[in-house]
C-alpha cells in the first residue's frame, strides 16, 4: 500500500517545517510510483528546495566532467594493468556494437542515436580516472541504456522545482563529491 511505504522523508520541526528527503540516482520513472504521497506533498508545498548538487547548472556539469579526467598528459592505458585495459577496450567495443539493439523506439523517435549516446556516456574514456571508468562501465547495461533520456530523480525534482518557480540551491560543491572518489587508490577502485 502506498500509505505504508517508507517515505525517506524526515521532518525538521520548526515553523514553517523543513523536510529532508533521501533520493537515489536512478531514472525517476523507476521509483516515482513508489515515492509516497507525503513526500510529494512536502515537495509541492515547499518554496525553497536544496539538492545535493545543482544538476541544472552548466558549471556543475562542466566541473563534474573535468574532475573525472586524469592529470594532463596521462591516459588510462598508462595507469591500468595491460590486461585490464585490453579487456575494458574489448568490452566497450562490444557495448558500442550492441547499443543500437538496446535502444527503444521511443528513444529513436526523440532523435537519440546509438553513436551519439555511446559518445555521450563513454566519450573520452581513455582520459578518465579508473574510478569514473568503473562507474561508467556499470551504467553501460541494456537496462540503463533503455532508460537514457529520462532524468534521474534528483534532476527530475530540480526541473520540477524550476518549472514551479521554486527557489533552488545545492548543499554540496562538485569538489566535495569529486575529491573523495579521486582519492581512492587503485586497489580500492
The domain spans of the chain are 9-183
Residue of 140, 158, 154 lying closest to 25 (CA atoms): 154
pLDDT over 90 percentage in the chain:
59
Segment 143-158 shows an average pLDDT of 90
Q: What is the largest CA-CA distance in the chain?
A: 59
Segment 83-107 shows an average pLDDT of 95
DSSP helix/strand/coil, 186: coil
* Contact in structure between 103 and 96 (CB atoms under 8 Å): no
pLDDT over 70 percentage in the chain:
96
Residue of 103, 127, 125 lying closest to 113 (CA atoms): 103
CA angle 184, 188, 189 (to 5 degrees): 80
Residue with cell 556539469: 61
Amino acid at each position: 500500500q502506498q500509505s505504508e511505504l517508507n517515505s525517506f522523508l524526515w521532518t525538521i520541526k520548526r515553523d514553517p517545517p523543513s523536510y529532508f528527503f533521501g533520493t537515489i540516482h536512478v531514472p525517476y520513472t523507476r521509483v516515482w510510483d513508489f515515492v509516497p504521497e507525503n513526500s510529494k506533498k512536502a515537495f509541492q508545498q515547499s518554496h525553497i528546495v536544496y539538492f545535493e548538487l545543482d544538476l541544472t547548472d552548466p558549471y556543475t556539469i562542466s566541473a563534474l566532467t573535468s574532475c573525472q579526467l586524469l592529470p594532463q598528459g596521462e591516459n588510462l592505458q598508462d595507469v591500468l594493468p595491460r590486461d585490464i585495459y585490453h579487456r575494458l577496450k574489448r568490452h566497450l567495443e562490444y557495448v558500442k556494437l550492441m547499443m543500437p539493439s538496446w535502444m527503444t523506439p521511443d528513444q529513436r523517435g526523440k532523435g537519440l542515436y546509438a553513436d551519439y549516446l555511446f559518445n555521450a556516456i563513454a566519450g573520452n574514456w581513455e582520459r578518465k580516472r579508473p574510478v569514473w571508468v568503473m562507474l561508467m562501465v556499470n551504467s553501460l547495461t541494456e537496462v540503463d541504456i533503455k532508460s537514457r533520456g529520462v532524468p534521474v530523480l534528483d534532476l527530475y525534482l530540480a526541473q520540477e522545482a524550476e518549472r514551479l518557480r521554486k527557489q533552488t540551491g545545492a548543499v554540496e560543491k562538485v569538489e566535495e563529491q569529486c575529491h573523495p572518489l579521486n582519492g581512492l587508490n587503485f586497489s580500492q577502485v
